[in-house]
């Protein structure tokens, strides 16, 4: 059995108007989140973010459009998911990214991972998230967006 690496990405997909895309977990109806996923082998984290967005939403954004927040979260892996990791692994390291799209769009969810998707204003999206790291990232969006030029601009201007 190949174990998951305890290194992941969180990608907050949003519009300039701060509408945020959330996905409902298939195995936990009512649990809403942004795109998340584990790093594979020695894959660069930006490549992980790009791959996970494509797999979970069908969005094929340019790698340059992703913004690496240079923010890392550490948290305990839920007991029910620990079987996916090597024995004794209980902590995950999550790297936060965002992706600003020009406007809301329909997405093609991965049915084995998600039941539905919805676009919500940022405050409502933050309140809907079951993960504290996801909630905190969404709450930080207005400040992050104020420091960058707009969709398609990557992270130029971020500090």
The stretch 121-136 carries a mean pLDDT of 97
Task: Give me the percent of the chain exceeding a pLDDT of 70.
Answer: 92
As a whole number, the mean pLDDT across the chain is 92
The DSSP bridge pattern shows strands 66-76 and 35-38 to be unpaired
Paired tokens of 146? 């104020």
- 146 vs 127 pLDDT, higher one: 127
Torsion angle in degrees (nearest 10) through CA of 41, 47, 50, 51? -30
The stretch 54-74 carries a mean pLDDT of 96
pLDDT tens sequence across 76-99: 998 888 999 999 999 999 999 999
C-alpha to C-alpha distance for 32 and 120, rounded to whole angstroms: 11
C-alpha to C-alpha distance for 126 and 134, rounded to whole angstroms: 7
Phi-psi region of 152 (alpha: psi -120 to 50; beta: other; left: phi over 0): left
pLDDT tens sequence across 3-54: 999 999 999 999 999 999 999 999 899 999 999 999 999 999 999 999 999 9
Radius of gyration of the chain (CA): 15
Looking at residue 81, its pLDDT comes to 84
CATH topology of domain 7-146: Nucleoside Triphosphate Pyrophosphohydrolase (3.90.79)
Q: Residue 154 — very low, low, confident or very high, per pLDDT cuts 50/70/90?
A: low
C-alpha to C-alpha distances, 104 to 17, 26, 99, 123, 140, nearest whole angstrom: 10, 22, 12, 16, 20
Do 114 and 30 touch, CB atoms closer than 8 A?
no
Paired tokens of 99? 């992706």
Do 14 and 101 touch, CB atoms closer than 8 A?
yes
For residue 1, pLDDT over 80 is answered with no
User: pTM of the entire structure?
Assistant: 0.91
Q: Residue 155 — very low, low, confident or very high, per pLDDT cuts 50/70/90?
A: low
State phi, psi for 131 to the nearest 5 degrees: -95, 130
Do 101 and 107 touch, CB atoms closer than 8 A?
no
Looking at residue 151, its pLDDT comes to 55
């Amino acid at each position: 059995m190949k174990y998951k690496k305890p290194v992941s990405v969180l990608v907050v997909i949003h519009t300039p108007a701060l509408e945020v895309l959330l996905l409902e977990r298939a195995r936990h109806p009512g649990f809403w989140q942004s795109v998340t996923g584990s790093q594979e082998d020695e894959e660069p984290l930006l490549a992980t973010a790009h791959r996970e967005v494509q797999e979970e939403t069908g969005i094929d954004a340019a790698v340059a459009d992703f913004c690496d927040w240079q923010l890392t979260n550490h948290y305990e892996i839920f007991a029910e998911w620990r079987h996916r990791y090597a024995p004794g692994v209980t902590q995950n390291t999550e790297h936060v990214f965002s992706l600003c799209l020009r406007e809301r769009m329909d997405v093609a969810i991965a049915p084995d991972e998600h039941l539905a998707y919805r676009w919500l204003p940022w405050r409502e999206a933050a309140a809907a998230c079951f993960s504290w790291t996801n909630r905190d990232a969404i709450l930080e969006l207005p400040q992050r967006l104020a420091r960058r030029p707009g969709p398609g601009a990557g992270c130029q201007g971020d500090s």
